[in-house]
Structure 1
Amino acid sequence: MLIVAGSLVAEPGGREPFLNAVQPMVAATLEESGCHEYAFTPDPNDDNRVLLYELWDDQTALDGHFASAHMADWQETRKGLAVTSASIKKYIISSVEDLG
């Protein structure tokens, strides 16, 4: 399994437009094979920050996401948004244990 997690920072007033613009890409991604979770959420402690969380079966599924038409469309859309920085990392998970 792979987890992709991170954050993006928007210019003041840019977080809501970002979250609205990303929704079509989120909806399409959640339909992809190998995608279990895909979410952009507002950081409750920072009005300009967006948190990202993704859960994928494997690298093949993630590669398919990066090659998708909706990801290409999103990359073009993102250019017009007021994102000032991003920090996103991929974590390779070797085991998973249920805590609940």
Structure 2
Amino acid sequence: MNNIRLIATIVAKENYESDVLSACLAMIKPSHQDEGCIQYELHKDTTQPRTFIFFEIWENQSAIDKHNETAHMKTFIGNLKDKTDSLEIKFIEKLA
């Protein structure tokens, strides 16, 4: 079975970049420890300073589902409340 890859893009509201960045950084270590996590990286858009991008690779959908139910994910979502303009998740497929 192929791994599942996704990109999660978060755009912070103006003046909340630091809060959103802190919340994102707090996700890295515990997410790496989640069962089924292969890769979990945080990036920043070089042309849009309020845009943060997670690149994730998971073993399967079950691993993502479990990750989404963790305490650190629930805390993360709470910490983002009213601080983002958007949060978009795209599932992607590696072609080459």
Counterpart CA distance in 2 for 1:36 and 1:24 is 18
Deviation beyond 3 Å, 4+ runs, structure 1: none
Q: Deviations over 1:28-50 (max 9, x none)?
A: 01111110111222111111111
Whether the 8 Å contact between 1:40 and 1:51 is mirrored in structure 2 is yes
User: What does residue 65 of structure 2 align with?
Assistant: 63
- Aligned length, in residue pairs: 94
User: What does residue 42 of structure 1 align with?
Assistant: 44
Q: Deviations over 1:45-95 (max 9, x none)?
A: 111111121110101111110111211121212215x2101221123x5x7
Q: Gaps spanning 5+ residues in structure 2: where?
A: none
Higher Rg of the two aligned structures: 1
Select which of 13, 33, 36 maps to 2:35. Answer: 33
Amino acid at match of 1:9: V
User: What does residue 85 of structure 1 align with?
Assistant: 86
**Secondary structure, aligned partner of 1:16:** helix
TM-score normalized by structure 1? 0.79
**Secondary structure, aligned partner of 1:5:** strand
**Cα RMSD, aligned residues only:** 1.9
Counterpart CA distance in 2 for 1:73 and 1:6 is 17
User: What does residue 77 of structure 2 align with?
Assistant: 75
Identity %: 23
